[in-house]
């Protein structure tokens, strides 16, 4: 029996949280995990709740999530010391960084792709670029000290290996869990229902590399030629006065399903993503996808998406118009998307936890 530690300090919402909760569920189900210690940001800084289990011990770290200096100190050494102090045999770092040691072996699961994209970094503010350049250096040190580096896609595997000069066997793909949803929020579903108005949906944040400004320009162009609306699910407070748009804020899973089901097309304009969880969610709910013509989207969607040049608003508008007006093509994409979802591994998080436990056993044997 083993004490297993997971570091998800800094995770607040979005895809990183969905991944983290999936990994925690897999760890709680593992027969050799006697205790699970999870390091997180304080409850008032995050928008999720953790499961309850007699195995689970939740440790909040305020300074590690609220200040840049605190986060660096945490990633460069305090996280592994905290894991040792709580009796962990291995530390799984799922917040992109965490420098391990022989005394505290680590498994690193990288969920942030932005530091590897010059195109995406160019869309960020100067201080944000500095922060992500710093994160990349800490990632590099973390990756080189980790026993295993996990990523979610083959695109990320190649990128991380090339960027950090890692051996082929050092970096492994652990695919993201397939999305699941409860029944749709019936109140919101009724409120959003406008069957006679073609509807596009954007799900994600509004930071620079997400390319939302070009999406809005494209939607403005689209509205010149047809009646349409754009729903936006964003975690930030985001106000836009563009006619036809509606910002729904952050939604729970039932509300998010209602938004997907009210839409004819999901639009993903991001310049870079680790996976792009809305792509999987849309295909799982049989909603066609229009996506940036970038490797991350091609790997996830294959032939189950319309693709556009994300740097060209007129190209985005043209693809959105085609997606909203061509019902036959939308149906073909639904079928292709369902086929891709049905062909994916249902849950690779159990494999990630098992690999981490093998690291713990090897460390004990030494």
Q: pLDDT (tens digit, 0 to 9) for every residue of the chain, 366 residues total?
A: 689 999 999 888 788 888 999 999 999 999 999 999 999 999 888 888 899 999 999 999 876 666 778 889 999 999 999 999 999 999 999 989 999 999 999 999 999 999 999 999 999 999 999 999 999 999 999 999 999 999 999 999 999 999 999 998 999 999 988 888 999 999 999 999 998 999 999 999 999 999 999 999 999 999 999 999 999 999 766 778 889 999 999 899 999 999 999 999 999 999 999 999 999 999 999 999 999 999 999 999 999 999 999 999 999 999 999 999 999 999 999 999 999 999 887 668 999 999 999 999 888 776
Q: What are phi and psi of 34, to 5 degrees?
A: -85, -40
Residue 5's DSSP bridge partners are: 37, 91
For residue 16, what pLDDT is reported?
86
Helices 327-342 and 277-284 pack at an angle, to 10 degrees, of 100
Taking the C-alpha atoms of residue 315 and residue 318, their distance in angstroms, rounded to an integer, is 5
Token pair of 15, please? 């895809």
Using alpha carbons, select from 98, 128, 101, 99 the residue that is nearest to residue 115. Answer: 128
**In the prediction, which pLDDT does 154 show?**
95
The model carries a pTM of 0.92
Q: Token pair of 179, please?
A: 């999305």
- Nearest CA-CA partner of 272 in 287, 291, 254, 256: 291
Calculate the alpha carbon distances from 154 to 16, 31, 134, 297, 310 in Å.
18, 29, 24, 12, 22
Per-residue model confidence (pLDDT) at position 167: 93
Residue 1 has a pLDDT of 61
Fold designation for 186-342: Rossmann fold (3.40.50)
**Torsion sign, CA atoms 319, 325, 328, 331:** positive
Q: Is residue 214 exposed (0-12), middle (13-18) or buried (19+ Cβ within 10 Å)?
A: buried
Give the architecture (CATH level 2) of 2-177+347-365.
3-Layer(aba) Sandwich (3.40)
* Residue 351: predicted pLDDT: 95
- The pair of structure tokens assigned to 74 is 């945490």
Q: What are phi and psi of 109, to 5 degrees?
A: -115, 110
Q: Please state the domain extents for the chain.
A: 2-177+347-365, 186-342
pLDDT at 236: 67
The pLDDT assigned to 63 comes to 67
Q: Do domains 2-177+347-365 and 186-342 have the same CATH topology?
A: yes
């Amino acid at each position: 029996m083993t004490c297993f530690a997971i570091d998800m300090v800094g995770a607040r919402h979005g895809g990183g949280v969905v991944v983290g909760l999936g990994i925690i569920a897999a760890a709680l189900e593992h027969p050799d995990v006697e205790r699970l210690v999870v390091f997180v940001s304080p409850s008032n800084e995050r928008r999720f709740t953790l499961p309850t289990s007699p195995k689970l011990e939740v440790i909040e770290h305020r300074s590690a999530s609220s200040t840049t200096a605190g986060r660096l100190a945490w990633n460069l050494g305090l996280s592994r010391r905290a894991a040792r102090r709580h009796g962990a045999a291995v530390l799984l770092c799922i917040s992109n960084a965490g420098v391990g040691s022989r005394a505290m072996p680590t498994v690193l699961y990288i969920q942030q792709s932005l530091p590897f994209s010059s195109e995406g970094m160019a869309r960020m503010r100067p201080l944000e670029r500095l922060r992500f350049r710093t994160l990349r250096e800490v990632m590099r040190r973390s990756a080189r000290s980790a026993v295993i580096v996990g990523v979610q896609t083959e695109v990320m595997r190649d990128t991380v290996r090339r960027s950090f000069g890692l051996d082929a066997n050092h970096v492994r793909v652990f695919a993201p869990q397939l999305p699941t949803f409860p029944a749709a929020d019936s109140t919101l579903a009724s409120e959003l229902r406008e069957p006679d108005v073609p509807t596009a949906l954007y799900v994600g944040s509004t930071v620079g590399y997400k390319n939302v400004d070009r999406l809005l320009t494209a939607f403005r162009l689209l509205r010149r030629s047809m009646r349409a609306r754009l729903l936006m699910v964003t975690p930030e407070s985001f106000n836009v006065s563009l006619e036809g748009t509606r910002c729904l804020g952050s939604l729970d899973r039932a509300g998010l399903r209602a938004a997907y089901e009210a839409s004819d097309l999901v639009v993903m304009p991001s310049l870079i993503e680790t996976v792009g969880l809305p792509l999987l969610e849309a295909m799982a709910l049989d909603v066609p996808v229009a996506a940036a013509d970038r490797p991350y989207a091609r790997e996830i969607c294959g032939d189950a998406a319309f693709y556009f040049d994300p740097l060209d608003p007129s190209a985005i508008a043209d693809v959105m118009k085609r997606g909203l007006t061509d019902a036959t093509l939308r149906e073909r994409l639904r079928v292709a998307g369902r086929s891709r979802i049905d062909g994916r591994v249902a849950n690779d998080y159990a494999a990630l936890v098992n690999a981490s436990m093998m690291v713990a056993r090897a460390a004990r044997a030494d």
